[in-house]
Amino acid sequence: MNKKILAAVLASLLAGTTHAATIYKNDNGDNIKVYGGAEVGGTFVSDTDKTPFKPDTTYVDDSFATIGLKGQTGNFFAKFEIDAERQDWTKDNNIRIVVDKLVVGYNFAKGQSIEFGRTDTAYDKVDGFGDMTNELGVGISEAGDQDNTIRYTGDFGKIKLSVSHSMEGWDGTVDQHGIPNIYSYETDSLYGQVTNGYIGYYGDSFTVIAGAEHGDETEIYSLHSQLKMGKFTLGGLVFDETKNFNQDATTEAHEVGANIGGKYAITDKMNVLATFNYSDIDTYHNTLTTVSSVLNTCTPRTLSWQQKWL
């Protein structure tokens, strides 16, 4: 397989605010809280082939905002959250308002809970763990926000795990071949049902996590790790992903990817990053034939800078 090396130097500048306030609290512990946050800024990339706009610009806007309500009564809890997010990465660069979470749950034991509704899947919480950067690198395309999702979360000290099952399918539009139209969805739903989860060891300085997903149209396995040594953090992830969004099983994509990087904290709000990304994608146009097209990318991002104001 051919492998292509592309260098990209990027700088990321984010101005962010995060706030939460209790608007109701009872003596028995029942409460309602309102919360919100915003990040305004984007990423400068020297290799314009890695931007959505190619040579037209080296800057990509990553601005984002969220606001929500969460409450608890006894062992029951609920959350409602609205996001202002990028609808697409076109010239219009549209922002849309979507209901990101609408969920109810129950804490049935210490450190253990179960919830149901429109929410993130279990895998979505850790899919980027080990990646030092924010956008434009290789990533895992797991099921993220899903309708009709039931999720279990367990916290046993240094061992943490979670598993979820989503019963709802794709919520966007498809073309005449059954392929999802890009940017037409309001959640990250896939065709059919999907189950995913992770288990990890969270140490004081070292963390390792294994994640997996299986669905009608997707199968993913990944391993993530992070090591903290004072002001320096070393992290990375590897994954193997197979996706087939065509319901007649005539198109399938298999990707193997890796990301390794380091981060040095200059201050508590400023970091210098160095990362290397690798991605190798094979696309099969018939499940009984050989590979008909190959897309391989290998992107070392040699320098990155992040700063946040809270």
DSSP output for 290-304: ---EEEEEEEEEEEE
User: How many structural domains comprise the chain?
Assistant: 1
In a domain, 3, yes or no: no
- Cβ atoms within 10 Å of 293's Cβ, excluding its own: 10
Residue 182 has pLDDT above 90, yes or no: no
Q: Which residue has the higher pLDDT, 252 or 114?
A: 114
- Between 54-58, 84-88, 113-117, 229-233, the lowest mean confidence (pLDDT) is in 54-58
In a domain? residue 5: no
Residue 234 pLDDT > 90: yes
Q: What is the pLDDT of residues 253-277, one digit of tens each?
A: 888 989 888 888 888 777 787 878 8
- Note whether residue 285 is domain-resident: yes
Q: Answer whether residue 1 is part of any domain.
A: no
Mean pLDDT (whole number) for 182-210: 85
In a domain, 51, yes or no: yes
HEC letters along 243-307: ECCCCCCCCEEEEEEEEEEEEEEEECCEEEEEEEEEEEEEEECCCCCCCCEEEEEEEEEEEEEEE
Q: Whole-angstrom distance between the N-terminal and C-terminal Cα of the chain?
A: 46
In whole angstroms, what is the distance from residue 123 CA to residue 163 CA? 7
Domain that holds residue 28: 10-307
Q: What is the DSSP string of 77-115?
A: EEEEEEEEEES-SSSS--EEEEEEEEEEEEEEETTEEEE
* Coil, helix or strand at residue 56: helix
Q: pLDDT band for position 20 (50/70/90)?
A: confident
Inside any domain, residue 280? yes
Quick check: is 110 in a domain? yes
123 with 144: CB under 8 angstroms?
Answer: no
**pLDDT at 266 (0 to 100):** 86
Find the mean pLDDT for residues 52-71: 77
What is the share, in percent, of the chain residues with pLDDT greater than 70?
69
Is the per-residue pLDDT at 295 higher than 90? no
Written as one letter, the residue type at 205 is S
Does some domain include residue 171? yes
* Residue 146: per-residue pLDDT: 86
Q: Where residue 252 sits, what CATH number does that domain have?
A: 2.40.160.10
Residue 308's pLDDT is 41
State the pLDDT at residue 87. Answer: 64
